[in-house]
Structure 1
Amino acid sequence: MPLPRPASPRALWEDLRAFAKERSRVQWIAALFAMVIPVSIIVLFYYDTRTNIAPGEQLIYVESWSANRTDAEIAAAQKERQAREDAIAVERQRQFKELERQFGI
């Protein structure tokens, strides 16, 4: 079975014009929406990949200690740090209890 002869661009253009004349305005509007919505979703996904979702720079503070400090000094510094963290936790708990009292929870 031989393949059909390729059509000329003029014949293609005439076929498209005849096809377009058969369609109503409502069908063209629906076709436009049917093409615009997926294209806009793809464009939004493209721009979403361009947004910076990685965390920003983080500052890390490092304490400097002498190399020859004793175990007692290390334990004292740890206890002091733990006492500060405990005080912060107690204050935060107090603030949440205050919010709880305000909202009547």
Structure 2
Amino acid sequence: MPLPRPASPRALWSDLRAFAGERSGVKWIAAVFAILMPVVIVVGFIVDARTNVLPGEQVIYAESWSANRTDAEIVEAQQQREARKQEIADERQRQFQKLERRLGL
């Protein structure tokens, strides 16, 4: 069975004009939106995949201590740090409680 002859570009254009003539303008608008919406979604995913991929710059602070400090000084510094952490946690909790009261929860 032989293959059909390739169609000429003129035949393609005449077929497209005939097809377009059978459709109303509303159907063409719907077709454009039907094609455009998935394209926009896929492009959105591609753009989103390229943003904020790498972690930002991270600063690490290191404390400098003398080499000859005593165990009591170490324990005192640890207790001060723990007290400061607890103060920060208490303040944060107080702020959330204030927000809760303002929102009426």
| TM superposition score normalised by structure 2 | 0.77
* Residue identity in the other structure for 1:35: I
Pair 32,72 (structure 1): closer, same or farther in 2 beyond 3 Å: same
- Identity percentage over the alignment? 70
Pair 41,103 (structure 1): closer, same or farther in 2 beyond 3 Å: closer
Secondary structure of 1:58's partner?
Answer: coil
Q: Determine the C-alpha separation between the residues in 2 that align with 1:47 and 1:39.
A: 12
Q: Determine the C-alpha separation between the residues in 2 that align with 1:88 and 1:37.
A: 48
**1:47-86 equivalence runs, <5 A:** 47-52=47-52, 54-86=54-86
* Residue identity in the other structure for 1:48: D
In the TM superposition, residue 63 of structure 1 has moved relative to its aligned partner by: 0.5
Map Cα deviations across residues 59-84 of structure 1 (whole Å, 9 max, x no partner). 22211112232322211211121122
**1:1-105 equivalence runs, <5 A:** 1-52=1-52, 54-103=54-103, 105=105
Q: Structure 2: any 5+ residue segments left out of the alignment?
A: none
Q: Structure 1: any 5+ residue segments left out of the alignment?
A: none
| TM superposition score normalised by structure 1 | 0.77
Map Cα deviations across residues 10-46 of structure 1 (whole Å, 9 max, x no partner). 1112111111111111211111111111112122222
Q: Determine the C-alpha separation between the residues in 1 that align with 2:61 and 2:25.
A: 67
